[in-house]
């Protein structure tokens, strides 16, 4: 046996297994990470069952707790006792639950830990209602009645349908209010600002005449009138939306009155059957990708972040594609292949390894302060000292990322060009085509999948990059999108939101990290999904391409 063992060791086979273990571990890590994000991210939208339980806070103080169980962990009784939890002395090992109790305005925080030994009589009552609100997070309780003004219109089971109806009504009105506030009033404000800048511009140029002043004043008058009208409309809508209230009892039995306008959605998770849960899930998922964030980004959707990411990446690819390809073509097809070209090739290659934050610093100093500052001085003196382009914005962010990703495109395109057999070029030239024609008609079309790979990789890198963006244009909450209905429609100077930064900001800078965490997982999942898909696409294209060239060489 022992000699068998030692000969086994001498054969080196154990080492092979250790090496295999390293691969296995890496794969477990990648898949585990993806799985973790997927489970946590997708779980966010599922309607959690709501638990109701009696909790013995102290031997003679029993409270009723209603909430969703979010986490469970094993813990020693001693640790709980040290933390001041009144578990009996005989408890050695037990578990505790993290319960989302909501009702932040009453309890102060959304979550509390409950120790298992102190919980008594868990139940999942069907009548428990969850309200998603515009402020103060979720509400957990029992619906009692619904009021319109001061009169109660429905009570008991009838109240539920009345409530759903009125929530729908309030949501409709709320949407109108938002349309007016951000859409029409936004347009008026934008026009006002333009008028102010126009006047300032005229003054700066010394062309401000009384006639021009009158014209501007007339326009301003007009805008103010429409603003006034909108205000009247708005206050009427606000009066309407505040009509209804609901009364509900919370866990400790006290009654709470909530404005229906504050409620985004009301549901009774314990009463939902599977089909309803699935449709609830779909609705929540759609809300997540299509709506704006609420409550300092910790609730609601992430649409502006998706939009900002996509737009930034789009602008970046517009810039990076032509320049990257031209540089690669120059290096491979036109430049004299000597030590200098080799040096440049190495340098370009290595730039891909330079930390992204360095590009951010460069972007901030060069694009924002130097270029942007000078653009402001030359073209937007009327807005000074408020900067137009002299401040971080989407244009500078996409330019910075274009510089960051241009080596990726160059390297990939060059690789594609170098794989095209000489014979093809020579054949084209021998038939009398000029170099440009050879390039345009044969070489570039053949290399186009390689370029595609480079661009996809560049996009994937840009979509996931956060550190440089923190310096050159990303914000936690942008008041308006970089693309909207106000001429000139595309506002390159505006700041934008970004998925990656959203993760960092909500996960680490938000006041209520615990409540926001599921949302961060969901955002991560979306980002990871996009990036994995992009990369798989690039890998597939590249593999096909290699097969093709292999066929060409023979």
Q: Which of positions 477-536 make contact with another protein (CB under 8 A)?
A: 500-501, 503-504, 507-508, 513, 517, 520, 524, 527-528, 531-532, 534-536
CB closer to another protein out of 102 and 518: 518
Do 526 and 286 contact (CB within 8 A), yes or no?
no
- 409 burial class (0-12, 13-18, 19+ CB within 10 angstroms)? buried
What dihedral do alpha carbons 458, 461, 464, 468 form, nearest 10°?
-90
Cα separation, 247 vs 260, whole angstroms: 10
Cα separation, 112 vs 92, whole angstroms: 21
Q: How far is the CB of 346 from another protein (least distance, A)?
A: 5
Q: Which of residues 9-38 bind another protein (CB under 8 A)?
A: 11-31, 33, 36-37
Cα separation, 99 vs 67, whole angstroms: 6
Query: Quick check: 109 binds another protein (CB under 8 A)?
Result: no
Query: Quick check: 347 binds another protein (CB under 8 A)?
Result: yes
Identified binder of another protein from the candidate list 258, 408, 470, 497, rule CB under 8 A: 470
Query: Quick check: 426 binds another protein (CB under 8 A)?
Result: no
Query: Quick check: 374 binds another protein (CB under 8 A)?
Result: no
DSSP calls for 444-461: HHHHHHHHHHHHHHHHHH
Q: Which of residues 54-93 bind another protein (CB under 8 A)?
A: 73-74, 76, 78-79
Q: How far is the CB of 33 from another protein (least distance, A)?
A: 7
Query: Quick check: 437 binds another protein (CB under 8 A)?
Result: yes
Q: How far is the CB of 503 from another protein (least distance, A)?
A: 5
Q: How far is the CB of 201 from another protein (least distance, A)?
A: 19
DSSP calls for 483-542: B-SSTTSB-TTS-B--HHHHHHIIIII-TTHHHHHHHHHHHHHHHHHHHHHHHHHHHHHH
Residue 199 dihedral angles phi and psi, to the nearest 5°: -60, -45
**Any idea what DSSP says for residue 370?**
I
Identified binder of another protein from the candidate list 298, 317, 356, 453, rule CB under 8 A: 356
122 sits in which H/E element: strand 119-123
Cα separation, 90 vs 97, whole angstroms: 20
Query: Quick check: 124 binds another protein (CB under 8 A)?
Result: no
Identified binder of another protein from the candidate list 135, 334, 374, 552, rule CB under 8 A: 334
Token readout for 36 is 């973790």
Cα separation, 78 vs 87, whole angstroms: 9
> Token pair 């609420």 is at which residue?
294
Candidate segments 139-147, 218-226, 339-347, 545-553, binder of another protein by CB under 8 A: 339-347
CB closer to another protein out of 300 and 464: 464
CB closer to another protein out of 124 and 440: 440
Q: How far is the CB of 321 from another protein (least distance, A)?
A: 12
Identified binder of another protein from the candidate list 212, 237, 351, 541, rule CB under 8 A: 351
Q: How far is the CB of 236 from another protein (least distance, A)?
A: 42
Cα separation, 108 vs 424, whole angstroms: 73
**C-alpha pair distances (Å), 450 with each of 431, 436, 446:** 26, 19, 8
CB closer to another protein out of 160 and 366: 366
Residue 91 dihedral angles phi and psi, to the nearest 5°: -75, 120
Which residue in 530, 494, 523 sits closest to 508, CA to CA? Answer: 523
CB closer to another protein out of 359 and 396: 359
Query: Quick check: 326 binds another protein (CB under 8 A)?
Result: yes
Q: Which of residues 441-460 bind another protein (CB under 8 A)?
A: 457, 460
Using DSSP's 3-state secondary structure scheme, residue 109 falls into: coil
**Any idea what DSSP says for residue 45?**
T
Q: How far is the CB of 531 from another protein (least distance, A)?
A: 6
CB closer to another protein out of 266 and 460: 460
DSSP calls for 293-319: EETTTTEE--HHHHHHHHHHHHHHHHH
CB closer to another protein out of 272 and 541: 541
Q: Which of residues 304-323 bind another protein (CB under 8 A)?
A: 322-323
Q: How far is the CB of 447 from another protein (least distance, A)?
A: 14
Identified binder of another protein from the candidate list 350, 374, 418, 423, rule CB under 8 A: 350
CB closer to another protein out of 15 and 238: 15
Identified binder of another protein from the candidate list 149, 440, 479, 544, rule CB under 8 A: 440
Query: Quick check: 349 binds another protein (CB under 8 A)?
Result: yes
Using DSSP's 3-state secondary structure scheme, residue 343 falls into: helix
Do 287 and 301 contact (CB within 8 A), yes or no?
yes
CB closer to another protein out of 164 and 448: 448
Query: Quick check: 39 binds another protein (CB under 8 A)?
Result: no
Do 445 and 432 contact (CB within 8 A), yes or no?
no
Q: How far is the CB of 112 from another protein (least distance, A)?
A: 17
Identified binder of another protein from the candidate list 407, 416, 454, 482, rule CB under 8 A: 407
Size of residue set near another protein by CB under 8 A:
101
Q: How far is the CB of 529 from another protein (least distance, A)?
A: 11
Cα separation, 225 vs 237, whole angstroms: 19
Q: How far is the CB of 520 from another protein (least distance, A)?
A: 6
Q: How far is the CB of 450 from another protein (least distance, A)?
A: 16
Cα separation, 56 vs 61, whole angstroms: 6
């Amino acid at each position: 046996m022992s000699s068998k063992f030692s000969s086994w060791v001498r054969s080196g086979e154990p080492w092979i297994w250790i090496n295999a273990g390293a691969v296995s571990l890496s794969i477990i890590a990648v898949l585990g990470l993806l799985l973790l994000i997927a489970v946590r991210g997708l779980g966010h939208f599922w309607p959690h069952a709501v638990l109701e339980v009696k909790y013995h806070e102290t031997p003679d103080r029993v409270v009723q707790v209603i909430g969703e169980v979010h986490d469970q962990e094993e813990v020693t009784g001693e640790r709980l006792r040290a933390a001041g939890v009144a578990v009996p002395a005989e408890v050695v090992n037990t578990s505790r639950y993290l319960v989302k109790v909501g009702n932040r305005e009453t309890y102060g925080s959304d979550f509390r830990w409950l120790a298992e030994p102190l919980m008594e009589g868990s139940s999942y009552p069907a009548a428990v209602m969850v309200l998603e609100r515009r402020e103060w997070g979720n509400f957990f309780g029992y619906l009692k009645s619904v009021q319109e003004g001061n009169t109660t219109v429905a009570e008991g089971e009838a109240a539920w349908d009345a409530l759903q109806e009125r929530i729908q009504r309030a949501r409709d009105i709320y949407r109108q209010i938002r349309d007016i506030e951000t859409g029409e009033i936004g347009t008026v404000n934008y026009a006002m600002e333009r008028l102010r800048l126009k006047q300032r511009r005229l003054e700066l140029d010394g062309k401000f005449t009384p006639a021009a002043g009158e014209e501007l004043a007339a326009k301003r008058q007009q805008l103010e009138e429409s603003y006034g009208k909108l205000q009247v409309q708005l206050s009427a809508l606000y009066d309407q939306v505040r009509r209804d209230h609901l009364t509900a009892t919370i866990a400790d039995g006290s009654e709470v009155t909530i404005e229906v306008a504050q409620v985004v959605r009301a549901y009774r998770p314990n009463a939902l059957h599977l089909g309803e849960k699935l449709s609830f899930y779909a609705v929540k998922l759609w809300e997540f990708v299509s709506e704006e964030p609420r409550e300092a980004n910790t609730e609601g959707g992430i649409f502006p972040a998706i939009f900002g990411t996509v737009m930034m990446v789009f602008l970046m690819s517009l810039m990076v594609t032509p320049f990257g390809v031209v540089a690669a073509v120059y290096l491979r097809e036109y430049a004299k292949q000597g030590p200098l070209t080799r040096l440049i090739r190495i340098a370009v290659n290595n730039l891909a390894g330079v930390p992204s934050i360095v590009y951010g610093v460069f972007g901030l100093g060069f694009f924002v302060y130097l270029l942007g500052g000078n653009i402001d001085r030359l073209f937007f003196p009327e807005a000074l000292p408020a900067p137009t382009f002299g401040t971080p914005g989407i244009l500078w962010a996409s330019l910075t990322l274009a510089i960051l990703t241009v080596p990726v495109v160059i390297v990939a395109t060059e690789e594609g060009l170098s794989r095209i057999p000489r014979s093809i070029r020579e054949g084209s030239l021998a038939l009398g085509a000029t170099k440009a024609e050879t390039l345009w008609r044969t070489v570039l079309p053949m290399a186009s999948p390689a370029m595609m790979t480079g661009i996809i990789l560049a996009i994937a890198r840009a979509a996931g990059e956060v550190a440089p963006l923190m310096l050159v244009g990303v914000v936690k909450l942008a008041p308006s999108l970089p693309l909207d209905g106000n001429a000139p429609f595309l506002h390159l100077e505006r700041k934008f939101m970004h998925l990656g930064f959203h993760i960092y900001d909500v996960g680490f800078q938000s006041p209520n990290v615990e409540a926001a965490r599921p949302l961060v997982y969901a955002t991560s999942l979306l980002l990871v999904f996009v990036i994995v898909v992009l990369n798989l696409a690039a890998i597939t294209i590249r593999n096909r391409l290699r097969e093709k060239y292999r066929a060409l060489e023979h």
